[in-house]
Chains A and B, each alone.
Chain A
Amino acid sequence: MFHLVEKLVEYFRTQMRTDPDMASAVAAIRTLLEFLRRDKGETILGLRESLKWATDCLTEVDSSVAVSSGGELFLRFISLTSLEHQDLSRCKKVMEERGELFLEKISLSRTKVAKLCHTFIKDGAKILTHSSSRVVLRVLEKAAAEKKRFTVYVTESQPDTAGKQMADALRRINVPVTVVLDAAVGYVLEKVDLVIVGAEGVVESGGIINKIGTYQMAVCSKAHNKPFYVVAESFKFVRLYPLNQQDVPDRFKYKADTLRTVSDLSDEHPMIDYTPPSLITLLFTDLGVLTPSAVSDELIKLYL
């Protein structure tokens, strides 16, 4: 079994390497599809169990919320069809086809989100964003392609200074960008027209889990009455319901390596925080433009 884990992880890592623009959840789903193809199980139940186990393995490699939610949604999507065929191989084939359909749908999701969101960026707008999000980048690329002029402020986003990567990417498409300190969010907000952030996970209450510093930004934008927009693909919807920061499970708060090596987590600094739905104006997803209270509606449709 051990070499199976290794192969799985290796495949996952290769996927991430070959296309750095791909979301980690998409890479995970590709890995799961490949796993399904190569699986030599004898029963549907066994197949499902091994897929769940594979998702858990991948979550241990990359502890982001999106991997776990993407994996669960993938499993539900492929089993949401009639598997009444007598022949196991035919069932498997149906599941594989569904899996490919799912993958195709989600690879288009970023484009859909960008199409919905770029209209909210007016000409001459000043945008504030947090850390590095590929979805936000896609939205800004689309807005720039529509010949809109706007400037962007990006937070540096310690401890991994991911904000600088975002700034580089934006400079490449000739968007004027300024990198600000995480502590300067309150200072900069009076100049800014709107705030757009990505999300690592969207929870049942309509709130989001994102890189640490997002909650702060949301509270400040509420105080300044600036709209706070979130862009996320639908496979990031997860069946969690945190009530406050402490309620977010530890397995999402820290990087996977930290969880494995460190025994006492109270010394570690969490990498993500939870933003409650009362601070979010709108969510842009491939299912449409949603208010935070509509997220629960969509989640019920996705998961039930």
Chain B
Amino acid sequence: MNPIQHHFIGQCTCLSLSPASTVLPASAPVPVPVSGAPSHSSPAPSPADKPAKSRAEQKAERRARQEADRASKQQSCSSSSKTKAPPSELNPVVKRLPEHVQVDDPAVVKRLAKKLERQQIPLRSDYGYKVSLFSHLHQYSRKAPLTQQLSIPSTVIHPSIVRLGLQYSQGIVVGSNARSVALLHAFKQVIRDYTTPPNEELARDLVNKLKPYISFLNQCRPLSASMGNAIKYIKKEISNIPSHFKEEEAKTKLQTCIDRYINENVVLAAKAISKYAIEKINLTSVILSDRTWKKFRVIVVDSRPRLEGREALRRLVQRGISCTYVLISALSYILPEVSKVFLGAHALLANGYVMSRVGTSQIALVARTFNVPVLVCCETYKFCERVQTDSFVSNELDDPDDLMVTRKGKTQLENWHDVSSLGLLNLVYDVTPPDFVDLVITDLGMIPCTSVPVVLRVKNLEQ
């Protein structure tokens, strides 16, 4: 039986929030998300021009440069500092915020533009008026996909990656699992078509080849936590290829690694989760001819603009389960009839917060008020080391034009661009505190929300 998951999507139209002081100052010590692309604070080596320096040498050079910069900066503003502490104590290694949450800082945007130029990837421009609370995030339009600005055939980016990027930005491939699996399949294709250039080592060169692809995909649509973990895994596998492996051997090994990763973390995990979840669905069982039937009813809660719940509804009805379909505005009306709430998750953060489709925290909150247990189903590969306490700091803004709806021939809001003070906000994710979640069902078993760091630790030990 498939795990029963509710899909929720943002329905935010126009938020009339006063600009609160919750906008993150740029220097706050937020731990850097460990997902693939944004961790490049150094220039990526331009393809095949320079002789390949070893990674240690590059790092040492970078360090020396940073120290020199810091030392010169220290001297220039020494008048303001009272005590002359040595530079290394005054400047602990500041973890940089990822650029995708600093869009309103022009210096960061310039830095990103330079990096993309070096990698020969077009920069995607923002679209439409952004609500001030979220002005630090990107907001793209679906009508202007990044691929329009690429030359065909693109010499830098592999065609399967171009296709994948288009599928992401047009919303053809949606959902955390689907995106990760598609990404891994595209990488398999890339590896198949890859040939090691002369005087290069596969382990290092392939990783460097993947960097512009990841930047490109990030431009098409910001990477999800699961994709970040998958990319980390692949990079680790590639760099661990022993140097004596021939190219064919290495490529086959990588393909098998990817297949195994998908099998273990997505396919088998889903089976394990459904096995545990079934124990929690314990109502009157009705013996029906030769099979035991668990008699229960499912209420699918859905919300605009994505209406992803319809797909779940279709699958449940095909299985013969009696279902009810409501929109999220009817939540408090139906909750008294509900015995348990099952939610899916996009990612689980290290402080126990659940990041999921917008609307999830609303459901968890109302369910808590009605004393209905809330269960979150999430595979362990979606656990990430990030910490987040609110939905503003790091989120995704979808195309605001999605909120326009045409009914009976009339489209409200179709001239929203003309109204200068009007902003449309189409949030994708929100963050639910662990107090509202009773249980998390993972492929390792049932754990409380606060035990996410334990699982991360156990997984790190295994590796």
Contacts and interface: CB of A to CB of B under 8 A. Distances in A.
Interface string A180-206: 000000000000000000000000111
Given A205-B439, A243-B340, A304-B458, A296 B450 contact: yes
Nearest to A246: B282
Contact of A296 (B280, B373, B375, B447): B447
A247 interface: yes
A261 interface: no
Contacts of B446: 204, 241
A243 B448 contact: no
Given A243-B280, A243-B340, A244-B373, A204 B447 contact: yes
Contact of B448 (A239, A293, A304): A293
Contacts of A205: 438-439, 448
Contacts of B458: 300, 304
B332 interface: no
A164 to B, nearest CB: 35
Contact of B438 (A239, A243, A293): A243
Interface string B439-456: 100000111101100110
A297 interface: yes
A241 B439 contact: yes
B282 A247 contact: yes
Contacts of B454: 296-297, 300
Contacts of A293: 448, 450-451
Contacts of A304: 458
A interface majority secondary structure: loop
Given A241-B446, A300-B447, A300-B454, 16 more contacts: A204-B446, A204-B447, A205-B439, A239-B445, A241-B439, A243-B280, A243-B340, A244-B373, A247-B280, A277-B448, A293-B448, A293-B451, A296-B447, A296-B448, A296-B451, A296-B454
Interface residues of B, number: 16
12 contacts: A204-B446, A205-B439, A205-B448, A206-B448, A241-B439, A241-B446, A243-B438, A277-B448, A293-B451, A297-B451, A300-B447, A300-B458
Nearest to A297: B454
B63 to A, nearest CB: 36
A205 B439 CA distance: 8
A206 B449 CA distance: 12
A-B pairs with lowest CB-CB distance, top 8 = A293-B450, A243-B373, A296-B451, A241-B446, A297-B454, A205-B448, A296-B448, A300-B454
Interface of A: 204-206, 239, 241, 243-244, 247, 277, 293, 296-297, 300, 304
Interface string B273-294: 0000000101000000000000
Contacts of B450: 293, 296
Nearest to B435: A278
Nearest to A293: B450
A280 B340 CA distance: 23
B463 to A, nearest CB: 16
Contacts of A204: 446-448
A239 B446 CA distance: 9
Most buried by A among B375, B438, B450: B450
B461 to A, nearest CB: 11
A69 to B, nearest CB: 16
A262 to B, nearest CB: 19
A278 B92 CA distance: 38
A296 B458 CA distance: 13
Nearest to A249: B282
A107 B85 CA distance: 56
Contacts of B445: 239
A204 B439 CA distance: 10
Nearest to A243: B373
Nearest to B434: A293
Contacts of B282: 247
Contacts of B280: 243, 247
A234 B454 CA distance: 19
B53 to A, nearest CB: 43
Nearest to A291: B450
Contacts of A297: 451, 454
A297 B453 CA distance: 9
Nearest to B340: A243
Interface string B223-266: 00000000000000000000000000000000000000000000
Most interface-central of B282, B340, B439, B445 (chain A CB within 10 A): B445
A243 B450 CA distance: 16
Contacts of B451: 293, 296-297, 300
A34 to B, nearest CB: 32
A277 B375 CA distance: 16
Interface in B405-462: 438-439, 445-448, 450-451, 454-455, 458
B443 to A, nearest CB: 13
B433 to A, nearest CB: 13
A141 B455 CA distance: 39
B275 to A, nearest CB: 14
A297 B455 CA distance: 9
A16 B210 CA distance: 67
A247 B438 CA distance: 13
A76 to B, nearest CB: 15
Considering residues A205, A206, A247, which has the most beta carbons from chain B within 10 angstroms of its beta carbon?
A205
Choose among B375, B439, B451 the residue with the greatest number of A CB atoms under 10 Å from its CB. Answer: B451
Interface string B206-235: 000000000000000000000000000000
A243 B368 CA distance: 12
Contacts of A243: 280, 340, 373, 375, 438-439
B340 to A, nearest CB: 7
Chain A CB within 10 A, most for which of B340, B373, B454, B455: B454
